[in-house]
Amino acid sequence: METSERRTPRMRALKARLRPLLAGEDWQDHLTEIEDYGLSAVGPLIACLPLEPLTRHRAAVALGRVVNRIAEARPEDMRNIMRRLMWHMNEESGNIGWGIPEAFGEIAAACPQAGREFHRVLISYIIELEKDDNFCDQDVLRRSCYWAIGRLAQSRPDLAAPARPWLRKGAALDRDTVCRGMAAWALSCLGPTLDDMPVLRTLAASGDQTPCTIFDGQTVHDLPLADVAARALSAPAQLS
């Protein structure tokens, strides 16, 4: 078996190979190539998550593709990867967890088995029960948790639906202004209900220009909070 000292340069070399692929405008054309690296790509892609927002999101997309392929043949390896991400979100890990929610959301969206088994964990990061909860109390990181639930809602609204009351609460009451906007964006991905409308109208009418960073699948955009809420109001509504 190879020692970690011998593996580390290989991981660094692969990270150096993947970063320019993710940075290019044609990055999506390289996703199959990245998938082909299989389990070897997981560590280098996770190492890209703390980078600037565009690379972070694209690395998360690539992770979703890689993990989906891994799950088809080796579901336990998929579970180990998800547990690794969960550990990075744990304060005991000593990490802040930059990029981990984005990866969690993209994997849950791209990999049906991971979505089924781990969507409740993702949702738990925005549920504040005051004690015995899994709430992400780091404001900037929690913004990513809201985004990740919205990303899951785009692909699997049935799995993201249990988050609705907590998204509504976040849009109304989260102490962080950007989190309120990101929660509103996630509601727009689910499709707002009548119960969601009052808080969305309040945010839209506020005129708040605080930028919310949204990844649209290709690039990132900074959208004013009030505009995010207004767009949510115009999203196709749900009956319940």
Write the DSSP string, 55-99.
Answer: HHHHHHHHHHHHHHHHHHH-HHHHHHHHHHHHHHHSGGGT---TT
Give residue-wise pLDDT tens across range 6-32.
Answer: 344 488 899 999 999 999 999 999 999
Q: Whole-prediction pTM value? A: 0.93
Q: How confident is the model over 20-64, as pLDDT tens digits?
A: 999 999 999 999 999 999 999 999 999 999 999 999 999 999 999
Quote the CA–CA distance of 63 and 38 in Å, as a whole number.
Answer: 10
Say if residue 1's pLDDT is above 50: no
Task: Return the closest-CA partner of residue 14 out of 68, 38, 27.
Answer: 38
Whether the pLDDT of residue 112 is over 50: the answer is: yes
Distance CA 61, CA 57 (A): 6
The 10 Å Cβ neighbour count of residue 160 is 27
pLDDT at 7: 46
Give the pLDDT band of residue 93 (cuts 50, 70, 90).
Answer: low
What pLDDT is recorded for position 239?
A: 60
